[in-house]
Amino acid sequence: MSRTSPSRAKTGAKSAPSHAIRIIGGDWKRTPLPVIDLDGLRPTPDRVRETLFNWLGQRLDGQRCLDLFAGSGALGFEAASRGAARVLMVERNARAAAQLRANQAKLAAGAIEIAEADGLRLAASLAPGSFDVVFLDPPFGEDLLDRALELAAPLISADGFLYVESGDSLDAAGHAALEGWTVVRQGKAGAVHYHLLQRENEE
């Protein structure tokens, strides 16, 4: 599920869909979904999504997911395809949000909610522990990651997972918001570093 952030989109960018993402597993496997052409829109590549959902165990039946910088929606749609009970996608750019709604309608995806809003502001209003998986892919170069981590970490249930894409390798020890968290899996694809984190077990 690839998301690219609202903030990655510049005013005046083209609005016609020029390419597509393809759901790679679950109920909607192989379904193509149009992606709007916006500057900076960076869907999570197929190979990375496949790796991530292998890490998560393929199915997300009954789980609650938050895609805080949804963009193309690749991560959120993939999660819903694999049985997530609730997927909240947050996208600030109006045209990108409209494309998410169109794709939601195409799939008749009742588990998906789309919020056209600033991801950080919305995250600050959500209840602690209300999600089992949070996907974080903030726009690179906008210094949003630290604040996004600070707001997202408390939203995740005790045994839940935090997925982070960033331009640099993430060291949990280097972020105050990630105290008590550990990177359990990580990889790199091109310029993108991707990480799966979970809270450390307390003995």
Residue 1 within any structural domain of the chain: no
Residue 179 within any structural domain of the chain: yes
Q: Which of 102, 62, 78 is nearest to 27 (CA)?
A: 78
**Phi–psi pair at 33, nearest 5 degrees:** -130, 130
Residue 88 within any structural domain of the chain: yes
> Is the pLDDT score of 185 beyond 50?
yes
Task: Give the DSSP per-residue string, the chain.
Answer: -----GGGPPTT---SEEEEEE--SSTTTT-EEEEE--TT--PPPHHHHHHHHHHTTS--TT-EEEETT-TT-HHHHHHHHTT-SEEEEEE--HHHHHHHHHHHHHHT-TTEEEEES-HHHHHHTSPTT-EEEEEE-PPTTSS-HHHHHHHHGGGEEEEEEEEEEESS---GGG-GGGTTEEEEEEEEETTEEEEEEEEPPP-
Q: Which of 77, 80, 67, 71 is nearest to 122 (CA)?
A: 67
> Is the pLDDT score of 68 beyond 80?
yes
What is the domain range of residue 130? 6-199
**pLDDT for the residue 1:** 40
Choose between 49 and 6: higher pLDDT.
Answer: 49
pTM of the model: 0.88
Confidence of residue 37 (pLDDT cuts 50, 70, 90): confident
**pLDDT for the residue 53:** 97
Residue 16 within any structural domain of the chain: yes
Q: What is the CATH number of the domain that holds 166?
A: 3.40.50.150
Number of independent structural domains in the chain = 1
Average pLDDT over the chain, rounded to whole? 89
52/121 Cα distance (integer angstroms) = 26
Residue 38 within any structural domain of the chain: yes
Instruction: Give residue-wise pLDDT tens across range 154-176.
Output: 999 999 999 999 989 999 988 88
Query: Can you tell me the mean pLDDT for 180-194?
Result: 95
> Is the pLDDT score of 5 beyond 60?
no
Residue 145 within any structural domain of the chain: yes
> Is the pLDDT score of 48 beyond 90?
yes
Query: Can you tell me the mean pLDDT for 48-69?
Result: 97
Instruction: Give residue-wise pLDDT tens across range 77-115.
Output: 999 999 999 999 999 999 999 999 999 999 999 999 999
Contact status, residue 81 vs residue 17, Cβ threshold 8 Å: no
Confidence of residue 3 (pLDDT cuts 50, 70, 90): very low
> Is the pLDDT score of 203 beyond 90?
no
Q: Which of 42, 36, 40, 41 is nearest to 14 (CA)?
A: 36
**Phi–psi pair at 181, nearest 5 degrees:** -110, 155
> Is the pLDDT score of 64 beyond 60?
yes
Q: What percent of the chain has pLDDT over 90?
A: 75
**pLDDT for the residue 202:** 57
Cβ neighbours for 157, distance < 8 A, ≥ 6 positions apart: 64, 129, 130, 131, 132
Confidence of residue 43 (pLDDT cuts 50, 70, 90): confident
